[in-house]
Amino acid sequence: MVTASKDYTTANAKGVTSPTSRVAAKLGGGLVLWVRGLHTRHELMRLSDRALADIGTTRHELTAFAKQSDPWRQLPKDAVFVLALGALIERVEGWHSRRRQQAQVYRELMAYSDQELTDLGISRRDIPAVARSGSTPSPA
C-alpha cells in the first residue's frame, strides 16, 4: 500500500516537466484527493454514533474530519497523483503476479493423472478452485 510517508520530492518532479503535464498531474491529484475523501466519508458513515464519538467526531463533522485526517492532503497535488499512479501500478503488478502463480498451479495439477489427484484428495473438477485459492479442498 502506498502511504503519504513516501518521499514525494522524487515522485513530484521526475517525469512531470512540461507545464501541460504539471497541470494534468495537479488536476489528477485533486481528483485522487476527492475520491479518497468520498471513500473516507463513506466508510465513516458506516460507523455507529458511538464509534464516531470514540474517534472524536460526529456525523455532521465527517466532511471536515475526513479532510483533516488524510495525510495525503499535506502533499502537493502533483505528488499525490504520482503516488496514486504508483499505487495503481503496484496493484496491477500484484494481480498479474497472483494470476501467473494461479496459472502455474493449474497447469501443474492438470498434468497429474486422475490417480495422483485422488491421492492428493482432489478431483479434476476442483482444479480451477484449488488454483485460485492456493489450497486443497477439505474432503467432503
pLDDT, tens digit, for every residue of 77-108? 888 888 888 889 999 999 999 999 999 999 99
Q: What are phi and psi of 91, to 5 degrees?
A: -65, -40
The per-residue pLDDT for 62 is 86
Task: Tell me what the mean pLDDT of segment 109-126 comes to.
Answer: 93
**What average pLDDT does this structure show over 4-9?**
48
Least confident window among 79-83, 108-112, 132-136: 132-136
- pTM exceeds 0.85, yes or no: no
Which cell numbers in the block locate residue 17? 516537466
Percent of the chain scoring above 90 in pLDDT: 39
What is the grid cell recorded at 13? 518532479
What is the radius of gyration, based on Cα positions, of the chain? 23
Q: Cβ contacts of residue 15 below 8 Å, gap of 6+?
A: 21, 82
